[in-house]
Structure 1
Amino acid sequence: MIRSLLSLTACVLLLSACAQPPLRGTGDLGVVVERATGSLQIIESATRTALARVEGLGDLSHASVVFSRDQRYAYVFGRDGGLSKVDLLSARIDHRIIQGGNSIGGAISQDGKLIAVSNYEPGGVKVFDAQTLEPVADIPATPLPDGQKRSRVVGLVDAPGQSFVFSLFDTGEIWTADFSQGQTPRIERFTAIGRQPYDALITPDGRYYMAGLFGEDGMAQLDLWHPERGVKRVLDHYGRGEARLPVYKMPHLEGWALADQQAFVPAVGHHQVLVLDARSWQPVDAVAVAGQPVFVTARPDGRQLWVNFAYPDNDRVQVIDTQTHAIIADLRPGPGVLHMEFTARGDQLWLSARDGGEVQVWDPYRLERLSSLPALSPSGIFFSSRAHKPGY
């Protein structure tokens, strides 16, 4: 009788184990935004496969994603003001709130405990507890002259010292919000930094915050080690320039590159990638490319740049050698290339071809396409390795 009970128990345990999903880590996972359907595909780079689809994430037409420190959760910022916490292991929405009317991205704090969202409507930044998505702080932006609205906020990044940095598009400002002393932030404002900062980046060491200007030539730079020095103008005499071209899609500064003590930045309204000395921040070259660049993405070893373009050249990707500044490949992956993402060690380059309905995986050393996955109007691709990179 005892032997029979033991055998039955063993069978029950065996069947229970078989019913459980296989154990896996999260460091090799990522997500693909399917903008037309408000869904995410959860992907695994080692096997180049899609594991699951998560639906019900709202308007993902300009979605961005950050990850928890343990790389288990993806926080998705939707254009409809939605903030969604997605469990990559269970492939489900852990929690979702509507925190605003029109949001344009977000960031996770240095300690991983705070999620900040930048909003067009209402203008400002809202901050939430990363575990529960309960509100922590509301930072309204500068009111506009009509007294009815506030400035739209763009270029939100996390910074060392438990801070967030962001730009105010309509009023030409850069603000820092320091949460190091608790949940009531210390705000520092820098005004008259230039007209219409449209996006921004932070250098990998967390020192320099750079805001691109759409309303005038140049970029605005804030040295976070020495904020008392104020905002400095970089590339003051370069931008859209005299021969202004129509801008079909604004370049994204997040995808800029630092390599061999050089900074590579997409030009606004020019068919060029700008090259700056990363010590003096002075221009040293301008690489002519096939169209208006959107992302300039560096291979992790810094030897290559992969560049995609706005319409009508958005079926092309060009590869630039960072030492010679020569174009070493002119690829045609397919229609509507929107985003590119390297795996953490740089063995793969994933890109989304929205109008082709697929995500492609490339070998960036051999410049060969390895495989493709079907996807529903894919746009952003984000790997969980971003969890350990400041500014991502």
Structure 2
Amino acid sequence: MLALVMVMLLGLSACQSPATVNELRGTGDLGLVIERASGSVLVVETTGNSVLGRVEGLGDLSHASVVYSRDGRYGYVFGRDGGLTKVDLLTRSITERVMQSGNSIGGAISQDGRYVAVSNYEPGGVKVFDSETLALVADVPATYTNAEGETAQSKTVGLVDAPGNQFVFSLFDAGEIWTLDMAADSHEITRYDAGDAPYDGLITPDGRYYIAGLFGEDGLSMLDLWEPQAGVTDILPGYGKGEQKLPVYKMPHLEGWAIADGRAFVPAVGHHQVLVADMNDWSLMDRIDVQGQPVFVMASPDNRQIWVSFAHPDNDVIQVIDARTRKIIHTLEPGKAVLHMEFTPRGERVWVSARDSNRVTVYDTRTLDPVATLSAENPSGIFFTSRAHSLGL
């Protein structure tokens, strides 16, 4: 009898063990916050708006981004120093790490989750790795013929995943857009002429249009992936024609662009404006004046609000635009040097990082009131695991 009681007590104790409870959790409400100065990331959860732990040793994260495995357990962190690090969010540890170049600018994970591709500045090109082991699968040097007639290697930017297990990216120096087909062993590459100096790229949520922003001219270059034989077309050409272009303190990011009510909201380069395009014909239909040079222009998941962050020296605020009226409805002050924002999967909250205030502020998107503040060491990018199920993120 005594033995039976002891077994029952041990079983009850095991069921109540905090360690057991903490180990049994899903990944759907998890995410990573980049701590750019210390080469570390915070593992966070959005249900209780809390930090679960820190993972260190990720190198130079001054311009870092993250993509996720299909199950949301692993985050692939792209460091500015060329490091590619696979982080386990459940054990809060590094499982694999490779130094794949001298200077990288981001990456993507393939539609089937098998491949992770990295976009490089130095020496240029794109490298593709096995997502399980980080073994090299393909090396795409992104070569082109320069103005002197010599073969050169271009910086690559705007790397995204696309349907059909493709990667799409832009060549800054060559003025081209390339597609890389990972569905076949041949890894076929197709090249398209684009505008002058594409600096970033995005793909529409349905995976049809790849759009590259242009630093060398006003406008954007668009490739219709449903009809790629038509080549690249120009959209929003000359949007700043006749206007004085301002010094560009930070290039806008297109990855988190906004689509709402059949319209695309994109940041203008060198202007204090958010451009509004009609997605039926990609014509310019409006220009919204904002308080600085926009960096991120992001739509809430319900598409009712457009949230805008800004470059230095106006980077201490966020402006919120009503998508229907296209009017600014609120200006928030999350802290010094706002760098990034991320909506929770269903959009009831948005997390905003303020690098020089060493904090992340969580806002209620209905009331626009802050509901939580988290301490972080020079935080920048915020990436939730819901990205695992979206194209181009």
Give the alignment's TM-score, normalised by structure 1: 0.95
Question: How far off its partner does 1:242 sit?
Answer: 3.7
Partners in 2 of 1:240 and 1:341 — Cα distance?
33
Question: How far off its partner does 1:333 sit?
Answer: 1.6
Paired position in structure 2 for 1:132: 133
Paired position in structure 2 for 1:233: 234
Paired position in structure 2 for 1:213: 214
Q: Per-residue CA shift, 1:306-354, capped at 9, x if unaligned?
A: 1011111101111001111111001122110000110010000100000
**Which letter maps to 1:231?**
V
Paired position in structure 2 for 1:177: 180
Cα distance, 1:208–1:43 mapped onto 2, change above 3 Å: same
Q: Per-residue CA shift, 1:180-232, capped at 9, x if unaligned?
A: 123x31110012x1110000100000000000000111100000000000000
Report matched runs for 1:35-46 at 5 Å. 35-46=36-47
Partners in 1 of 2:12 and 2:196 — Cα distance?
65
Partners in 1 of 2:31 and 2:189 — Cα distance?
33
Partners in 2 of 1:247 and 1:16 — Cα distance?
58
CA contact (8 A) 1:271 1:292 kept: yes
Partners in 1 of 2:307 and 2:336 — Cα distance?
16
Q: Report the 3-state secondary structure (helix = DSSP H, G, I; strand = E; otherwise coil) of the residue aligned with 1:11.
A: helix
Partners in 1 of 2:340 and 2:172 — Cα distance?
24
Partners in 2 of 1:223 and 1:308 — Cα distance?
28
The share of aligned pairs that are identical, in percent, is: 61
**Which letter maps to 1:321?**
D
CA contact (8 A) 2:214 2:221 kept: yes
Partners in 2 of 1:241 and 1:376 — Cα distance?
43
Paired position in structure 2 for 1:204: 205
Paired position in structure 2 for 1:344: 345
Partners in 2 of 1:337 and 1:15 — Cα distance?
45
Paired position in structure 1 for 2:192: 190
Unaligned runs of 5+ in 1: none
CA contact (8 A) 1:76 1:84 kept: yes
Question: How far off its partner does 1:144 sit?
Answer: 5.6
Partners in 1 of 2:63 and 2:357 — Cα distance?
19
Partners in 1 of 2:102 and 2:216 — Cα distance?
25
Paired position in structure 2 for 1:11: 10
Q: Per-residue CA shift, 1:259-297, capped at 9, x if unaligned?
A: 000000000010100000011100000000000000001
Paired position in structure 1 for 2:355: 354
Give the alignment's TM-score, normalised by structure 2: 0.95
1:287 aligns with 2:278: no
Question: How far off its partner does 1:11 sit?
Answer: 3.4
Cα distance, 1:389–1:110 mapped onto 2, change above 3 Å: same
Question: How far off its partner does 1:152 sit?
Answer: 0.2
* Displacement over 2 Å in runs of 4+: 2-22, 143-149, 239-242
Paired position in structure 1 for 2:80: 79
Unaligned runs of 5+ in 2: none
Question: How far off its partner does 1:7 sit?
Answer: 3.6
Cα distance, 1:94–1:227 mapped onto 2, change above 3 Å: same
**Which letter maps to 1:171?**
A
Paired position in structure 2 for 1:271: 272
Partners in 1 of 2:95 and 2:129 — Cα distance?
15
**Which of 161, 164, 186 is the aligned partner of 1:161?**
164
CA contact (8 A) 1:217 1:238 kept: yes
Paired position in structure 2 for 1:151: 154
Question: How far off its partner does 1:22 sit?
Answer: 3.3
